[in-house]
A = this chain, B = another copy of it.
Amino acid sequence: MVRMRGTREQKAETRERIVEAAGRLFRRHGIDAVGVDAVMHAAGLTHGGFYGHFASKEALVAEVAAASLARSAARWEQISEEEPPAQALGRIVDAYLDAAHVANAEGGCVLTTLGPDVARRAEARPAIAVSVRAMAAALERCGAGGEAAALAALSTMVGAVVLARLADSPEFSETILEAARAALSPVRQGEGG
């Protein structure tokens, strides 16, 4: 296999690779369906090395959930700062309520893939809540209305993706996404909250 080049920075990179691989696998197959073995293999390592990076699988889960959602929040913040409000809101909402997002659970929003599972793990919740606030704040900054309107919009987005993944046909899935898009259109025209 690939030999490591040694230093501490290398180890940090490896750790990040583990977190990213775990993030993809957990979101796709569910946390309990993916063993430490599978995560390490996906990161190009053997399972024994895992405990040089994390105290337990639970610690990895907490870090994965926090890191993945923080990244989503950071992306929204960046869009909300770089683009005109209406355009930024459109980009965020349209990308979220998209069939590609529904199909790509592996790379999708943690709230829609692991939300209920993370909610059962008290240690993971504080970091998640911080990102939820940040995501709502980004929507607010895009002109989605006040805090309440932004939280409601986020709720609609999360719920729609969860339901779209439960649909029994691509058509029903798209109907749900379109319904959510339509419901959010007043918010996008500055009529929300």
Q: Which residues of A are interface residues toward B (Cβ below 8 A)?
A: 29-33, 105, 111-120, 125-126, 128-130, 132-133, 147-160, 162-163, 165-169, 172, 175-176, 178-180, 182-183, 192-193
Known A155-B163, A157-B159, A159-B160; contact A149-B183, beta-carbon cutoff 8 A: yes
Tally of this chain's copies: 2
Additional 10 contacts, C-beta under 8 A, given A111-B166, A129-B169, A148-B183: A115-B166, A118-B166, A119-B165, A125-B167, A125-B168, A126-B168, A132-B166, A154-B163, A155-B158, A157-B159
Q: In the complex, what residues of B have CB within 8 A of residue A152's CB?
A: 156, 160, 179-180, 182-183
> How far is it, in angstroms, between the C-alpha of A180 and the C-alpha of B192 when the chains are bound?
12
Q: What residue of chain B has the Cβ atom nearest to residue A102's Cβ? A: B119
Selected A-B contacts with CB under 8 Å, 19 pairs: A30-B116, A32-B33, A105-B116, A111-B163, A114-B116, A116-B117, A119-B162, A129-B166, A132-B166, A148-B175, A149-B179, A149-B182, A152-B156, A155-B155, A155-B156, A155-B160, A155-B162, A155-B180, A157-B159
Q: In the complex, what residues of B have CB within 8 A of residue A176's CB?
A: 151, 155
Q: What residue of chain B has the Cβ atom nearest to residue A130's Cβ? A: B168
